[in-house]
Amino acid sequence: MASSEPGKKPRQRADARRNRDKLVEVAAEAFSERGAQASLEDIARRAGVGIGTLYRHFPTREHLVEVVYRRELERLAEAAAELAAERAPDLALEEWMHRFVSYMATKRGMAGSLKLLMTSNACLFTEGSALLRAAFGDLLAKAIDAGSIRGDIETVDVLTALSSIYSIPDLPDWRERAHRLIGLLMDGLRCRPAGDGA
Amino acid sequence: MASSEPGKKPRQRADARRNRDKLVEVAAEAFSERGAQASLEDIARRAGVGIGTLYRHFPTREHLVEVVYRRELERLAEAAAELAAERAPDLALEEWMHRFVSYMATKRGMAGSLKLLMTSNACLFTEGSALLRAAFGDLLAKAIDAGSIRGDIETVDVLTALSSIYSIPDLPDWRERAHRLIGLLMDGLRCRPAGDGA
DNA sequence: AGATTAAACGGAGGCGCCTCCGCTTATCTG
DNA sequence: CAGATAAGCGGAGGCGCCTCCGTTTAATCT
């Protein structure tokens, strides 16, 4: 009855795990640069495995897309802590917002395949995105504590601003625009010596 | 300046029209028996034309599906008049309802491709289906006038009944069930000599 | 009728999807 | 370490999608 142990480890070969990881990594790249309809055969090729291996690990395109999506989300959340540790609070916040937009771009590309989560642009910080909420809230709080940005700011306000930024209709230069807008947003948030408007 | 005439007839070759018609006919068959993802190459083959010809007439699968759908709808509406002319009013009504269910089955098969019209099962008698409404209303009125079915019936009531019939979840024997239910519905509608229940 | 012309044809070819199954190899056992 | 065993691999093969372009042919002109 050794098979009924709670910490189940029936067997997973090392090469299998390696291939799986490599596939996810390559797929993330492929999806972000060619959209969710990127060729699966191409992904397999770039990962250095046979197409059969890809299909064994991910029975459908949607399986693969979902795994990639989740991984990106977790990475983004982790990045917040790293950035907070190695940069000035306001710069950490800014950099994180840029990454957030890039992430949204990827997610956007996968929208067709992901029937989930994307129904409206309002539900972005629900569900699995509680992680993102927390990450963002931390960065913002740190920046306020450090006095690098204005204190009269609610987390929700900035989230709303971000929402409208990534909700820009799919123009060709979507990413550029979004990043520029983040620059503007940061300028608005930052504390300035003093000054009067005109 | 002969080209600016209002009744434009720039040119359409006879064989082109013939091929197009044949394709629609074959496609209707294919879609109804294999769903909307029936092989386009197979349709072309069965129609006796090259795949290139199919794609010239219908640039995307959706184009073809839509044309087929509209044709079926028109046919169904026309059938009402024919049936009314050649059968007893109650039998005409019954037969028409059976055809209606078959039509819905086809439409159901194409649901994936038709983003339109199918959003909810409530909107079935809107838009282009005004034709169907009219056709059905006529048949029902004739049957009531002739005294073959009960007079205390509203068009809307029977439509509602039909709606619930074709809305049966996709069980394997979906069509059978639906047709049996129509039999029941007709029994209920028909006038009977007299009689007391138990 | 014969010549002319462009509308229309058709299918080869390139690509992607997905399945199937014979071969490899990591892991376990003695 | 050798042998056993099944987890895992991979790519050929069959199918469908769609494009492209050389060939056919209906319609028109003389």
How far, in Å, CA of B15 to CA of B3, rounded?
23
- Rounded to 5°, the CA angle A157-A160-A163 comes to 155
Closest C-alpha among A141, A167, A28, A164 to residue A80: A141
Q: Distance in angstroms, CA of B60 to C1' of D28?
A: 33
* Mean pLDDT across B28-45: 93
pLDDT at A27 (0 to 100): 96
pLDDT category, A7, cuts 50, 70, 90? very low
Closest nucleotide relative to residue B48's CA, C1' based: C10
pLDDT at A10 (0 to 100): 62
Q: Is the CB of A1 under 7 A from strand C?
A: no
Q: Distance in angstroms, CA of A168 to C1' of C23?
A: 52
* Mean pLDDT across A61-79: 92
Closest nucleotide relative to residue B57's CA, C1' based: C8
Question: If you write DSSP's letter for every residue of A153-188 in order, what string do you get?
Answer: --HHHHHHHHHHHHTS---TTHHHHHHHHHHHHHHH
Task: Say if B3 falls within a structural domain.
Answer: no
Full domain range(s) for residue B41:
13-59
How many helices (H) and strands (E) chain A has is answered by: 8, 0
Q: Distance in angstroms, CA of A52 to C1' of C18?
A: 9
pLDDT at A41 (0 to 100): 98
pLDDT category, A101, cuts 50, 70, 90? confident
Give the bases of strand C that a protein CB approaches within 7 Å: 7-13, 15-21, 25-28
Query: Is pLDDT above 70 for A122?
Result: no
**Out of A191-195, B124-128, B155-159, which region has the weakest mean confidence (pLDDT)?**
B124-128
* Domain at A53, CATH number: 1.10.10.60
- Work out the percent of chain B whose per-residue pLDDT is above 90: 53
pLDDT at A105 (0 to 100): 72
| B64 Cβ contact partners less than 8 Å away, ≥ 6 residues apart | B23, B24, B27, B40, B43, B54, B58
Give the residue with minimal CA–C1' separation from C15.
A39
pLDDT at B132 (0 to 100): 85
Task: Say if B2 falls within a structural domain.
Answer: no
Whether residue B93 is found in the same domain as residue B170: yes
- Work out the percent of chain A whose per-residue pLDDT is above 90: 53
Query: Is pLDDT above 80 for B96?
Result: yes
Whether residue A114 is found in the same domain as residue A175: yes
A154/A17: higher pLDDT? A17
The model's pLDDT over A142-161, given as tens digits with 9 standing for 90+, comes to 999 999 999 998 888 888 88
pLDDT at B126 (0 to 100): 52
Sign of dihedral through CA atoms A157, A160, A164, A166? Answer: positive
How many domains is chain B built from?
2
Whether residue B19 is found in the same domain as residue B108: no
Crossing angle for the helix pair B89-109 and B174-189, to the nearest 10 degrees: 150
Whether residue B110 is found in the same domain as residue B163: yes
pLDDT at A65 (0 to 100): 93
Whether residue B54 is found in the same domain as residue B120: no
* Mean pLDDT across A74-98: 95
Whether residue A91 is found in the same domain as residue A178: yes
* Mean pLDDT across A174-187: 89
pLDDT at B2 (0 to 100): 41
Closest C-alpha among A100, B25, B181, A106 to residue A92: A100
**Cβ atoms B9, B20 nearer than 8 A:** no
Task: Say if A64 falls within a structural domain.
Answer: no
Task: Say if A118 falls within a structural domain.
Answer: yes
What are the start-end ranges of the H helices in A115-154?
130-145
Return the residue matching tokens 């349709």: B43
Q: Is the CB of A51 under 7 A from strand C?
A: yes
Q: Is the CB of A157 under 7 A from strand C?
A: no
The model's pLDDT over B97-148, given as tens digits with 9 standing for 90+, comes to 999 888 887 777 666 555 544 444 444 555 557 888 889 999 999 999 999 9
* Domain at A165, CATH number: 1.10.357.10
Phi-psi region of A50 (alpha: psi -120 to 50; beta: other; left: phi over 0): beta
pLDDT at B112 (0 to 100): 55
Both tokens of A64, joined, read: 């693969």
Whether residue B18 is found in the same domain as residue B79: no
Closest nucleotide relative to residue A51's CA, C1' based: D10
**Out of A89-103, B43-57, B87-101, B159-173, which region has the weakest mean confidence (pLDDT)?**
B159-173
Whether residue B90 is found in the same domain as residue B53: no
Whether residue A85 is found in the same domain as residue A112: yes
Q: Distance in angstroms, CA of B109 to C1' of D15?
A: 21
How far, in Å, CA of A123 to CA of A110, rounded?
16
Task: Say if B174 falls within a structural domain.
Answer: yes
Task: Say if B49 falls within a structural domain.
Answer: yes
Query: Is pLDDT above 50 for A4?
Result: no
Task: Say if A198 falls within a structural domain.
Answer: no
Q: Across chain B, what does the average pLDDT equal? A: 83
Whether residue A81 is found in the same domain as residue A136: yes
Give the residue with minimal CA–C1' separation from D21.
B52
Q: Is the CB of B56 under 7 A from strand C?
A: yes
pLDDT category, B1, cuts 50, 70, 90? very low
pLDDT at B9 (0 to 100): 57
Whether residue B135 is found in the same domain as residue B172: yes
Task: Say if B114 falls within a structural domain.
Answer: yes
The model's pLDDT over A22-64, given as tens digits with 9 standing for 90+, comes to 999 999 999 988 888 999 999 999 999 999 999 999 999 999 9
pLDDT at A117 (0 to 100): 45
Closest nucleotide relative to residue B50's CA, C1' based: C10
Whether residue B97 is found in the same domain as residue B20: no
Q: Across chain A, what does the average pLDDT equal? A: 83
